[in-house]
């Protein structure tokens, strides 16, 4: 009922759970690069360059290539988060990633370019999609981001569940996770899924950033879900029946209409949603911080 995607850069774990696709990000790559079992992958990726920018591209694609030896589908590889507000530079970086994959014999049809769901990121993805480069728009926290992506013919979106839940729990002073029926993160993905199906958008909805298996089970039937190895292990050990919660054939009537999203509407809607504004900025900062950390490690290695 749902395509399972592994949310990790650890391809040993990917082999264990045999998902269809896999996603990576700077934080996951940083974790993988520090694992001793991948020293040879890192060494090989850095063997022919002393340029840090080229080295970072090589690391991203090296892990992607290894992952594609395990999964039958696609791997998502992220553009440098520091380019999240630069449309032209995002396009340039994406093209370099695709060229790097192609140099390793990987066709662009097996790669998703992962970009933050800023206005600039969405517009960059629109251009890349026209070039035949499929994109995964990440760090998504508001319906307006999802609609803008669909109207730009983006291949796939990754609305974040757990980070939305975290924000509301902090605001309300909650220590325990809410019932999934009241979980704002789960509700957000359901709203996006139902809007897409009601208005006929073809963009794939892939829920991401889960805190516990209850959130995953509450979204069974979503187009795709990207899940960490830790939560995949818990799901594997659960022998109870899994009930489908989402279906394109059972979409309730939404109380809103579909509107063409322009830049002014997008920025105003984001401004009116403090959770989405805060979590998008925080996510970009975190990925940028981990990219800098990864650069520092790689710089030492290429010296």
Burial of 282 (0-12, 13-18, 19+ CB in 10 A): middle
Handedness of CA 122, 247, 198, 266 (dihedral sign): negative
Annotated active-site residue 114? The verdict is yes
DSSP 207: E
Q: How many CB atoms lie within 10 A of CB 168?
A: 15
User: Which tokens hold the place of 39?
Assistant: 């020293």
Rounded Cα distance between 62 and 71, Å, is 15
> Which residues pair with residue 204 across a beta bridge?
156
Rounded Cα distance between 246 and 1, Å, is 9
Closest CA to 184 of 205, 161, 206, 207: 161
Q: How many CB atoms lie within 10 A of CB 48?
A: 9
Of the candidates 15, 31, 114, 197, the residue annotated as catalytic is 114
Q: Would you name the residues annotated as active-site residues?
A: 114
């Amino acid at each position: 009922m749902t395509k399972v995607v592994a949310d990790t850069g650890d391809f040993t774990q990917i082999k264990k759970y045999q998902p269809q696709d896999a996603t990576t990000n700077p934080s996951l790559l940083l974790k993988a690069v520090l694992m001793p079992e991948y020293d040879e992958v890192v060494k090989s990726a850095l063997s022919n360059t002393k340029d840090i920018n080229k080295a970072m591209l090589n690391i991203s694609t090296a892990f992607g290539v290894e992952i594609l030896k395990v999964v039958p589908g696609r791997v998502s590889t992220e553009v440098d988060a520091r380019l999240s507000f630069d449309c032209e530079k995002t396009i340039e970086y994406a093209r370099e990633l695709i060229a790097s994959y192609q140099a390793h014999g990987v066709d662009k049809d097996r790669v998703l370019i992962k970009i933050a769901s800023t206005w600039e990121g969405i517009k960059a993805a629109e251009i890349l999609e026209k070039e035949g480069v499929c994109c995964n728009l990440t760090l998504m926290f508001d319906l307006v981001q999802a609609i803008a992506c669909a109207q730009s013919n983006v291949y796939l979106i990754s609305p974040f569940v757990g980070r939305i839940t975290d924000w509301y729990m902090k605001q309300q002073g909650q220590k325990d996770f809410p019932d999934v029926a009241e979980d704002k993160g789960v509700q957000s993905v359901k709203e996006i899924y139902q809007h897409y199906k009601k208005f006929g958008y073809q963009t794939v909805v892939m829920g991401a950033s889960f805190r516990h298996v209850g959130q995953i089970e509450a979204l069974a039937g979503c187009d795709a879900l990207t899940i960490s190895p830790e939560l995949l292990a818990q799901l594997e050990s659960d022998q109870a029946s899994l009930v489908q919660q989402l279906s394109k054939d059972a979409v309730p009537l939404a109380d809103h209409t579909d509107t063409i999203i322009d830049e002014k509407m997008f920025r105003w809607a984001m401004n009116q949603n403090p959770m989405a504004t805060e979590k998008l900025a925080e996510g970009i900062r975190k990925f940028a911080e981990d990219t800098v950390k990864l650069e520092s490690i790689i710089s030492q290695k290429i010296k």
